[in-house]
């Protein structure tokens, strides 16, 4: 079970114990219990920093997780950066290398007033430059290509407030789908054994590698018609995650 965190497993205020409306609930925790009882591994796939995702994975008792929108994968304590030609070097992170290209300044300048660093969550990044605002990611990627930055792409990782999304500037080949596929290979999982849950366009692409993908009711994920294995839950956020887990387990 590959799940996004914010807006999916977690409810309002990024709480495991809140619904989308902020009411107290144990449904997300019960869904995790159901996975444990069924022998289904839960893997967080998040845009958050490695240390944040590590703590959340530890909290729910899992040893694998995906951080910074698929830039990094941890399996039983072993970290792999899935960043292609951009690799950490002594004294220089991938985040530093992306900054040196000038691409972050290009985006902030072109979309001034519509895009800004997602403070304070942009601090301490190993790979991605994370922004908040409201821009068309496809248009931004056309700009990057036109200005000689085809090795990078801007991804929309979901809505965090009305008319405000989180965006990550990452190496072009980085994706949650690629990281999920890498974890599946490491564990020896088949596509039919795997389920994804999420709320963003980046989560939607995971449908390419898993047998079934659920978008929670609050998801803003674009065109789903290109996939035959995608469905929406009736409930939002943590309650939607519970619904996805119970349906997947019961129907299997």
- Tracing tokens 């959340």 back to the chain, one arrives at 56
Confidence label for 220 from pLDDT (cuts 50, 70 and 90): confident
Confidence label for 114 from pLDDT (cuts 50, 70 and 90): very high
Separation of alpha carbons 242 and 85, rounded Å = 38
Bridge partners for 196 per DSSP: 2, 213
> Is residue 157's pLDDT more than 90?
no
> Is residue 233's pLDDT more than 80?
yes
> Is residue 221's pLDDT more than 80?
no
Question: Which residues are CB-contacts of 31 (< 8 A; sequence separation ≥ 6)?
Answer: 241, 242, 244, 245, 246
- What domains are defined for the chain? 2-82+174-251 (3.40.50.1000), 94-171 (3.90.1070)
Phi, psi of 23 (to 5 degrees): -75, 150
Question: Is residue 166 within a helix (H) or strand (E), and if so which, with residue range?
Answer: strand 164-171
Which tens digit of pLDDT belongs to each residue from 63-87?
999 999 999 999 999 999 999 999 9
Which tens digit of pLDDT belongs to each residue from 234-246?
999 999 999 999 9
pLDDT at 158: 84
Confidence label for 134 from pLDDT (cuts 50, 70 and 90): very high
- Tracing tokens 């248009």 back to the chain, one arrives at 139
Which tens digit of pLDDT belongs to each residue from 8-28?
999 999 999 999 999 999 999
- Mean pLDDT, residues 97-122 taken together: 97
Bridge partners for 159 per DSSP: 165
């Amino acid at each position: 079970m590959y799940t996004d965190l914010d807006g999916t497993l977690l409810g309002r205020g990024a709480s495991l114990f809140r619904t989308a409306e902020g009411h107290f609930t144990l449904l997300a925790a019960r869904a995790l219990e159901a996975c444990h009882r069924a022998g289904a591994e839960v893997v967080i796939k998040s845009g958050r920093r490695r240390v944040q995702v590590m703590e959340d994975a530890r909290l729910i008792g899992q040893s694998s997780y995906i951080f910074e929108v698929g830039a990094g994968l941890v399996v039983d304590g072993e970290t792999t950066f899935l960043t292609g030609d951009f690799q950490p070097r002594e004294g220089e992170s991938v985040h530093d290398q992306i900054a040196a290209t000038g691409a972050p300044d290009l985006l902030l300048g072109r979309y001034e007033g519509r895009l800004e660093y997602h403070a304070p969550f942009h601090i301490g990044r190993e790979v991605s430059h994370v922004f908040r605002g409201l821009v068309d990611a496809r248009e931004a990627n056309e700009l990057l290509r036109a200005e000689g930055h085809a090795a990078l792409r801007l991804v929309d990782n979901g809505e965090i407030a009305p008319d405000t999304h989180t965006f990550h500037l990452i190496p072009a080949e980085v994706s949650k789908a690629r990281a999920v596929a890498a974890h599946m290979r490491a564990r020896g999982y088949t596509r039919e054994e795997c389920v994804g849950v999420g709320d963003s366009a980046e989560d939607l692409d995971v449908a390419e590698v898993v047998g079934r993908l659920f978008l929670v009711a609050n998801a803003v994920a674009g065109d789903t018609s290109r996939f035959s294995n995608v469905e929406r839950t009736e409930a939002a956020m943590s309650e939607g995650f519970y619904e996805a887990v119970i349906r997947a387990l019961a129907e299997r």
